[in-house]
Amino acid sequence: MRIFGIFLLGALIAAGFYLYLGARDATSSLDAVAAVASTLREENTTGRTLDRETARRMISAMEDLLAAPETISEHVEDLKTIAATAASWADAAATPSAELHVAVAIRRAAGELRGYVVTPKQITISRARQLLGAARFSLDSDAVGMEGGQGPGLAVGAVKDRIDNLQQSHQEQIQEMDEELRN
C-alpha cells in the first residue's frame, strides 16, 4: 500500500510537471504568433487610431449601397476613401485587437463593393454584407468591454487579419488597373 501511494504521488508530480511545461510551450507559441502578426504590415501607410463613429458611418453607408447595388458605381471614390481610411486604422491597430478586425473587415467590404462595379455578381454583394456584419459585431462587442487579449484563436485570427489586409492592398492595386481599363 505504501509503495502504491509513493508511485501515485510520483505520477501526480510528473503529470503536474508535464502540464506546466505544456502551458509554457503554448504561451511561447502564442507569443511567437503575435510577433509574426505584428510584422505583417503594409508599406507606405500611415497609421491612425480607429474612430468608432466614423467606422459606424462607413458601415452604414456601405449597407445603404448594398440596399441599392445599382448605385455602387457612383460611389467608387467614396469606397476608395473608406478603404484608405480603414488601411490606416489597420496599420495603427494592436495585434490582436478588435480594432484590427474592424478595420480589415471594413476595408475588404469596400473592396468587394468596388469589385461589384467591374463584375456585378450576387456573391460579391453577399461577401460585402457578411464582412460589414462582422465589422459591426466586432465594433459593438468591443464597445461594451470586450478586451483584446491572448488566446490561440485571437493570435491566429490576428495573423489572418494582417494577411487579409495585405491581400486587400494588392487587390486594390488590381482594381485600380481594372477600373482604368474599363474607362
- Crossing angle of helices 122-143 and 52-67, in 10° steps, is 150
Look at the alpha carbons of 33, 38, 42, 48 in this order and tell me if their dihedral is positive or negative.
positive
What confidence score (pLDDT) does residue 88 get?
95
What confidence score (pLDDT) does residue 135 get?
95
The count of domains in the chain is 1
What confidence score (pLDDT) does residue 36 get?
58
Please identify which residue in the block is written with the cell numbers 486594390: 172
CA dist 52 and 152 (Å) reads 26
Question: Is the link from the previous residue into 96 a cis peptide, with omega within 30 of 0?
Answer: yes
- pLDDT (tens digit, 0 to 9) for every residue of the chain, 183 residues total? 567 667 666 666 766 666 665 655 555 555 655 565 556 567 777 889 999 999 999 999 999 999 999 999 999 999 999 999 999 999 998 888 899 999 999 999 999 999 999 889 999 999 999 999 999 999 988 544 344 444 445 667 878 888 899 899 889 988 888 878 876
Contact at 8 Å (CB) between 30 and 78? no
Where b means 16+ CB within 10 Å and e means fewer, 5-42 reads eeeeeeeeeeeeeeeeeeeeeeeeebeebbeebeeeeb
Range of the domain at 37: 2-182
What confidence score (pLDDT) does residue 78 get?
97
